[in-house]
Amino acid sequence: METNEKLREQIFEIIKNQLRDNEPPETKSTYNRLIRKGFDDMQIRQMIGQCLAVELFDVMKFRKPYNNARYIKNLLALPKEPFD
């Protein structure tokens, strides 16, 4: 299995847990909003995954603390791709 595939699976697992636990609640509200806009489950999980990947990249590459405020800001802006 490729490293990228393992990382993708881990990101999807985090999203699954966020949706199940409603933590942060913006993940679930974003998911529901995008469903209402006509996106399918996989599209939404990929979009949320992009937001999560931005945060994980900064944590791992630059050793910055996880930025929950930016994560939520990027979730609320979906389907626009995260820029921060």
Question: pLDDT digit string (tens) for 39-69?
Answer: 999 999 999 999 999 999 999 999 999 999 9
Please report whether residue 83 resides in a domain: no
Please report whether residue 51 resides in a domain: yes
Please report whether residue 84 resides in a domain: no
Please report whether residue 82 resides in a domain: no
Is pLDDT at 3 greater than 60 in this prediction?
yes
Counted domains in the chain = 1
Whether this prediction's pTM lies above 0.75 is answered by: yes
pLDDT of residue 56: 92
Q: Which string of DSSP letters, residue by residue, matches the chain?
A: --HHHHHHHHHHHHHHHHHHHT-SHHHHHHHHHHHHTT--HHHHHHHHHHHHHHHHHHHHHH-PPP-HHHHHHHHHHTTSPP--
Domain extent for 9:
5-77
Please report whether residue 64 resides in a domain: yes
Mean pLDDT of the chain: 95
Please report whether residue 52 resides in a domain: yes
Is pLDDT at 1 greater than 80 in this prediction?
no
